[in-house]
Structure 1
Amino acid sequence: MILLVDDRPENILPLKKILELHRFVVDTAESGEAALRKVLNSAYSVIILDVQMPDMDGFEVANAIAGFSKARDTSIIFLSAVNTEKKFVTKGYTSGGVDYLTKPVDPDILVLKVKTLHRLYEQQQELRATQHSLRQEVEIRKQAQDALASQVEQLQTLLATLPQIAFTTTPSGQLEYVNEHWYHYATTSTSFPETHPTDTLYEAWKQALSTNTEFTGEARLKELATGEYRYHLLRILPLRQQDVVTRWIGTFTDIHSQKQATEVLEQQVEQRTRELLLKNEELERTNHELQQFAWVVSHDLKEPLRKIQLLNDTVKEKYLNDNPEAISYLDRSIRSSARMSALIKDLLTYSQLSVPEPFEATDLNALLKGLLLDYDESLLQKGAVVQIGDLPIIDAIATRIRQVFQNLLSNALKFARENVPPIISIEAERIDTKAIDAHPSPNGTFCRIVVQDNGIGFDEKFLDRIFVIFQRLHNRSSYEGTGIGLAIAKKNIDKHYGLISAQSRPGKGARFILVLPIKQVDPLSAI
């Protein structure tokens, strides 16, 4: 549903009719207060908001809407016939708007923007629904695992209450205590029952004893009264205090009469295991479908954009040569389409970062030399100088690390000071720990790479924002971009189990600091 907010009904009516002709459900409000009440009670995909209104202007309304959780996915388009200066446009974007249009507005352009934003809103809702479904699947799996753990605990309690051969030993395995059932199979309290000559139960337990781990095994014990070998289940648990083994407690359970019950229990465990495997496969399939969804959405969004750009170029060349004002509006539409195409491309790149890829030994010097070849023209045009120190060979995903340096190099060129040739330096040193301010160490297991420029810089109070997706510190009219580049860089560094940060002051350039492992270690090996 679309919400039109304007204090003049004569402005609302034509826009409402145009949108309804394109099958949009349209709601209206004639004041900022009325708009806020409607937003509290209804969900809107797009809000078209007049800037100049009594009591609350459009900027105040947008700031208030930003605090409503229900409107977190709602896009705001500002309309103004009076406040057309750059400072008002800037204020519109900082107030939460995604676009700022001046009246009279081209209805076709407005409808195209509303269609695009409405489609994005619907896709966001579908994505949230998919995420909710995934969380439910994870919860179901957790409940199944908890139920299995409860069954195991109940089984352990049941076995502990059976009339069994019980004993305790010292941490080194010497017998401390045996109960009366012990003497049915052993002559003394200092020697273990005799097992069948082919059984190796005690040898296996000695290995568990050396690693302080729980042990379970089957053996045939010789009953003294009859000389018969009977199958018993040996289970030995370490008792700990402050993570130190103080003694072992063990039981021999006669499993002849328990065989049938054990088989039933094993069938139940096997059945539960199959259910968990099915749930796990379903969760993995859902994750794959989510990745496919992100790719398909991005791909499907590109196609209509290409048509929009082609049609705009055709209209401009064939029909608007003698209409400068229309050309101006159309150029703005073409630029907006190009920005959205770049945004979709970056979103697709960002969504694909979760796909697993192998680490390989990567020469960063060779990687940067290849990257600079792609920037020859830009460097020459700006008169830029790039100084590269001696960079190490590290375990990395080359394409991902290349994206990181590509985004940092692009930013250094984009945010250069006016009439000042960019100077970019890239240096590296080994450090002893994974920390931004770690001490240098010639044999350190991490490397710290610093990419420094002499550009416009930024205020460090915004440091937490620059690596967040869609966060921008400069308006789009001054500096192009999608606000995703540094978010992609951070996600790539996270994928390498590294760190990224920055240091800067306005007008003094910026230093981006990367900390990366020299050798990648399998995270599971540390478990």
Structure 2
Amino acid sequence: MILIVDDTPENLISLKKVLEKHNFEVDTASSGEEALKKVLRNEYVLIILDVQMPGMDGFEVAEAISGYSKAKETAIIFLSAANTELKFITKGYSSGGLDYITKPVDMDILLLKVKTFYRIYEQNRKLIEIQKALLDEIAFRKRAERKKDEFISIASHELKTPLTSVKGYVQLLARSVDKGDIPTVKKHLAKAQVQLEKLNELIADLLDISKLESGKLKFNKKSFSLDTLLEGVLEVIHHANPEFTITINGIPPKEIYADEMRIEQVIVNFLTNAIKYSPGTKEIQINIDTSENELYLGVRDFGIGIAPELQKSVFEKFYRVEETAIHFQGLGIGLYISAEIIQRHGGEVGVKSKLGEGSEFYFTLPLNPVHEVE
């Protein structure tokens, strides 16, 4: 928008008509004081400012405007018929003006200058947008680099822990075998097996994320019984965590069309997380709701919960909630992999949680998807 400032009504009307005829949006002010009030309220691309006005002259108005942060990008063209001496023109530029036109105004020259300033304004605006986008991208690179470094550190630690444990149990086994202490041998073997299983899960997650990033994670979709899948999963989970009671609310559909192994992977991830982040509790719920076209499956725990501002981030790669004094093992990629699996099935993932009251991680799947080959 253009602001024309002139104490002569005829000048305001004639300039306004010419500019509006060429599709410029125009505002007017009949004094310097009125112009300053308008500059505080509105944003202008250009101000056409008469030099000789009663009260505040054009130079005083320009100097005042130059002190407004809101108007620092606004161009000023001075208009004057009084004096064209070099000293007079120099004062105009030193007051903050970018150009100078003498009266009577040549409208063709004025229009040319206005169009030029508008073009410069648009170019500057685009440059600012590009600069902002570049700064945002650089900040995103830095965050990604920091997350990668954190992940490498976490992965090294998490992989080293079970390896160290296995090494220790193997040493204990060797001593127990020499002594012929079979009960102790069996005990150490069982503990070593647990640590090896943890190591296997960590490596499997690393392989999955590598396949996801390279586009090589394949899906073998077919029709299968969700009820049967849940029975098998619950048996394994209960065997490893006999202290937890897991109940199913709702009736699973007879069959769903998906990659059975990958859907099992997601459910197991949700259940193991529910147990991990629910110290001191003993109940987990699986909530199932089936509509005509969609399956909803949620895993509800009664553990530490997640703060609202953190919930949007839990499915991001390498993200780990570390809001308590308790240290939880893991690489921070299980939920990211789960989200990718569900999204590749045409479904969605999400979480509903209240801090201190537990969480429900859920996914939806279409029940009548197109049977494509992957």
* TM-score bucket (shorter structure): 0.3 to 0.5
Q: What is the TM-score when the length of structure 2 is the normalising length?
A: 0.47
Q: What is the TM-score when the length of structure 1 is the normalising length?
A: 0.34
Identify which of structures 1 and 2 has the higher relative contact order when contacts are C-alpha pairs closer than 8 Å and 6+ apart.
2
